[in-house]
Structure 1
């Protein structure tokens, strides 16, 4: 009965309470006990619920971050496992790479060895019969791991001798590369070569970047050259043609060596000869040509005229028809039909 009457009292107080008084908490002292208790419970519940939600959100965000970190660490662990499994292979590859690297370093001359390399190139060219017009050291070019030394070379000589010189420079123990070369014809037998060669001077690297073992090995054997590791090319003349020499067709040796005993009309250019007469016979026509001196010559089919081995094919009312050997822009000989007309003599 007491509990029932207590509950009835609380319900009555809540029912009779003017809830608009909540807007004025200053008068909370006069509120019924049931109302004060209800307000306290409501506020307490709200605070607990808000704190719980805020804490729960922080925990959820932290959980998401930890899950992401876990995935990243798992992926990194897989990579590390793969690297550990391949560690021996990596070490073997590093040794294989280090060997040619060391070999190339030993082929780079030091600054004090550049003059000796220049002497070696000069001696090589002289041994092939080349004439050195000049050999000059250009300004050095700094590179990250070495110093590039350009060398301007000007030589003259035969085509095959220049080819052998290129082959000899490529076979030197030191690394020398050749760039920007030009050839100029001085005569039928002599060419002028201008060449930009480059050698590469060794610049010692800090041990922190190369490792103490590598740096020590290079210092101990800086000039120890090794041969046979690169493909070698030896220039052999053999049947190689000289592209600067005139090309002669089979059976044609050129006007300077046409036949023993040139006839007098072969020393004159065709425009210097005048066709002054024509004699007609059953066995063939005969032309009368006057040379610059005024002498008149008889010309028949098969005779030679002019400096280009011009051979008479026929003599007609139009003039003297002949075939000459002419050279084109490549120096090759080719036959060309030419007419010496009557207009030259009239």
Structure 2
């Protein structure tokens, strides 16, 4: 008898477990159709669990979409700003470590710059410069077509005086002329130039055209020369060309 009762109890428990494990989808769906909206306590347990899970998921999604996602954007922006600040800090820290060396270089550059400014003439003296250019051209056996003294260009620390030179000659004569200009006592820099052959021929060595843009400089401390000096400078190339 005892064995029979035990077997019966075991079968009953197994049957109960099987009934708990089985899930009827249709019955679960019908439980939603017969809900009493005014009496939440009468809802079946599976329905209550499903509704609560849905509410929790909805709250979590809203929390993520609104404050958490905005905070993530702020954190990303802060990380980017942090990297920028770190790079700026490294650069400034490097400058601070080499500050004394930079200051010494600045002092040296200012000294050298002031020395160069002191070497500039206080007045224009274009007539003397044009005369030197004429003499250099005569010594190089070139023939001037034009020497034009162009308007001055004022810079922050000095004034530029452009001078355009047009001449005829050969390659070696032009090289000698350029070397002569570099040897003049006045500071002259040479910029744009053009060498062309107006009449190419294979019989004789061609005579070339040279157009050269030069610049000389003067200090801003003194006023430029009068119109008479400029007029003399512009007239000088004609005399030199005629002499050659």
Larger relative contact order (CA 8 Å, sep ≥ 6)? 2
TM-score per shorter chain, which class? 0.3 to 0.5
Give the structure with the larger helix fraction.
2
Pair member with larger Rg: 1
Give the TM-score normalised by structure 1: 0.36
Give the TM-score normalised by structure 2: 0.47
